Chain A
Amino acid sequence: MTADGAQAMSLTVIVPSMLRQYAAGVGELSLSARTVREALEQLEREHLSLYRCVCDETGLVRRHVNLFVNSDHVRDLSGVDTALRPGDLLFILPSVSGG
């Protein structure tokens, strides 16, 4: 239960292999949050090094990092304000770019 009485949802963050060194080596993290924003805030509190790879100092998701809730990119939903449901998967994925 959150401070305003709303129910936080349990979700699983899927950590890509190149970022697992920042998550104690694990590929999945269990969090409890109502929105993607809350999930990121929890990451900042509990896994700061991983959070720094996903968001810059201003709190914005890095330009070349994509967040998916299940199979949908959050930009096609409500961004970091996308609501989460119990059992959702939050994927952290690097974009395909470079040269």
Chain B
Amino acid sequence: MSDRVVLGIGTKKGLFVAEGSKNRRTFTLRGPFGPGVAVYSILIEARSSPRIYASSCNPFFGMKILRSTNLGKSFKETASAPAFPKEDGRALANIWSLESGVDKQDLWCGVEPASLFRSRDGGDSWAMVPGISNHEHSRKWNPGAGGLCMHTILRDGNRVHLGISTGGHYLSEDGGETFKASNKGVGAGFAPDPYPEFGQCVHKMVGHKDAPGRFYMQNHGGWAEWSGPGGPRPDIGVLRSDDHGHTWRSIAKGLPSDFGFPIVAHPDDADTVYVMPLEPATRTCPGGVPAVWRSEDGGGSWKKLTKGLPKKQSYFTVQRDAMDIDELKSPAIYFGNTTGQLWIGRDGGEKWECLFDSLPPIHCVKVAVV
């Protein structure tokens, strides 16, 4: 029976694990694991005996993957980490996403420069997935400010959705063998063509198990005031697809900014989705007042959730993987920020409380009930 809530918190200075009971009143903190080394991705594989994986992105000695089989009480490196074939000419710069596959031993990993790797043995050996890593577009993708990263991997049966910054959304419908750019309706503000075939700066995507074909996307918005070639491009930042990502439409109306990084869906309601709007110029909370915004009608309207959050002078950033939601009956939202705070939004984000106030800058947050 699942009775523990486990948080993986990836920071600039290592991995922390917080554990609490299902009432989520208090959490105990362990770590840092991989001390001093940045962690950009975490996977809590909750099927049967839980495992926690985390990337450990060592700027000195290269990329590693950490694995825990005891709920984050200790971690060991896997036998190897993803690596490009020597003749490829590319070198791994970061690990941005870890996702579970068809069984417990099957792992998918998105890296920088944008490429996909897969392990069939729980992370001890890895093989590059050529259908996207050697895609004809791959040498034309450009890095965003965070690097040329594959940050999102969403599996839906035989479909695999990938989010790349900046590359856009790529879709496989043959289990990951081949991929096509699938960005119809996904705008770009930094290119002459406002709706290119590929090259968009997708920030994060999320799907929903109960709504096949439904996806939400936080894209790189903030182009409403653009006066350069092509003119303003309002509302391209928050999008929705209802056809497995073949086409996308804006759901940004009503938000204070269509720029942001994370996007999270309610575990039991496909129409409920959360974003954290940020000012596009500074990537910080608009007006210094942080707020998570929730839509309960699939993006038709939005409500600001601020109770318990600072009312002023808070100029933090919430990065693309730094918000998650648990799967309890009344789910809580969690976000970590670049100031090192870890917040919990109880009752679906109605009431916020700071769980940890002074962690290192937070890159990613993952939660699971185990």
Contacts and interface: CB of A to CB of B under 8 A. Distances in A.
Interface string A3-25: 00000000000000011000000
Interface string B75-90: 0000011011110111
Contacts, number: 44
Given A57-B91, A57-B92, A62 B84 contact: no
B146 interface: no
A14 B88 CA distance: 30
B91 A64 contact: no
Contact of A53 (B62, B86, B89, B92): B62
B61 A19 contact: yes
B210 to A, nearest CB: 41
A6 B91 CA distance: 33
A57 B84 contact: yes
A94 B91 contact: no
Nearest to B58: A53
A80 B81 CA distance: 25
Interface residues of A, number: 19
Looking at chain B, what size class is its interface with the partner chain? 10 to 19
Contact of B59 (A49, A59, A64): A64
A97 B60 CA distance: 9
The dominant DSSP class at the B interface is loop
Contacts of A18: 61
Contact of B92 (A56, A60, A64): A56
B214 to A, nearest CB: 38
17 contacts: A19-B61, A52-B61, A52-B80, A53-B62, A54-B61, A56-B92, A57-B84, A57-B85, A57-B88, A57-B91, A58-B90, A63-B59, A64-B59, A65-B60, A65-B61, A94-B60, A97-B59
Interface of A: 18-19, 49, 52-54, 56-60, 62-65, 94-95, 97-98
Interface of B: 36, 59-62, 80-81, 83-86, 88-92
